Amino acid sequence: MNVTVAEIPLHEVYVVIAAYREGSVLATTLAPLIASGYSIVVVDDGSPDNTWSVLQNLPVYALRHPINLGQGAALQTGAEFALSQGAGFIVHFDADGQHNADDIPTLLAPLVEGKADIALGSRFLRRDDANQVPWKRRLMLRTATWVNWLFTGLRLSDAHNGFRAMTGEAARQITIRENRSAHASEILALINRRHLRFVECPTTIIYTAYSRAKGQKGISAFDILFDLLVRRFVR
């Protein structure tokens, strides 16, 4: 019996968002998600700005880390909370508005149809999406996909695309322990280790001046590499 995305109750889909200093754009980012009827979990990662107060007036689950821990830690907190609420599916979504809420059904489809346990968004599966990516970024991401391949055994078309969807069952098996940016690679490593079935789905990235300014600097790639390297040898 085939089930389609249209048939699953949307409130069982938990969109988990890590927010750090996103007070100015959070309401805009959340609006289409709220309108779509998903359950939304926003984890304020100890932001010093008005992120937390913005959340108070929105129909979302809002959690707050008492101290700043990093995006990976915030996503893990959100996922644990979502699972405790009985989430059937968990979607990771960026707070800065660079992901398109309309792409969520695309990611959910292979999960609902039972073809995969986790769906990863990729900017490089459609030419139009790929052309959106500035060339410097493209070069860096290409390198990152190779590094990921080396460390995680997963060869993908995109790296550090924070847009992904997984079944609740898969989410239980993916416990993020990398608090900061290395969590993206850690998730790939866990997919490999737990033998989860994954697919890449085309997603659109909306590069705004805001998300570009907020996004990772090239230099942070070295931090990620350091975390990945050292983590292999030191427990």
Return residues touching other proteins (CB under 8 A).
39-40, 43, 46, 55-56, 58-67, 69, 73, 76-77, 80-81, 84, 177, 179, 230, 234-235
Nearer to other proteins, 76 or 148 (CB): 76
Shortest Å distance, C-beta 73 to other proteins: 5
Q: Which is nearer to other proteins, 69 or 170 (CB)?
A: 69
State in angstroms the smallest separation of the CB of 4 from other proteins.
26
Residues 6+ apart with CB under 8 A from 99: 93, 121, 162, 163, 203, 205, 206
Burial of 115 (0-12, 13-18, 19+ CB in 10 A): exposed
Shortest Å distance, C-beta 42 to other proteins: 9
Closest to other proteins by CB, 61 or 149:
61
158, amino acid identity:
D
| Beta carbon nearer to other proteins, 81 or 210 | 81
Hey, CA dihedral for 160, 165, 169, 175, is it positive or negative? positive
- Which residues on adjacent β-strands are paired with residue 44? 19, 64
Short-list 12, 204, 179, 202, CA closest to 97: 204
Nearer to other proteins among residue 29 and residue 39 (C-beta): 39
Task: Tell me how many degrees the CA angle 215-218-224 measures, rounded to the nearest 5.
Answer: 90
Cβ at position 108, least distance to other proteins in Å: 21
Smallest gap from Cβ 34 to other proteins, in A, equals 9
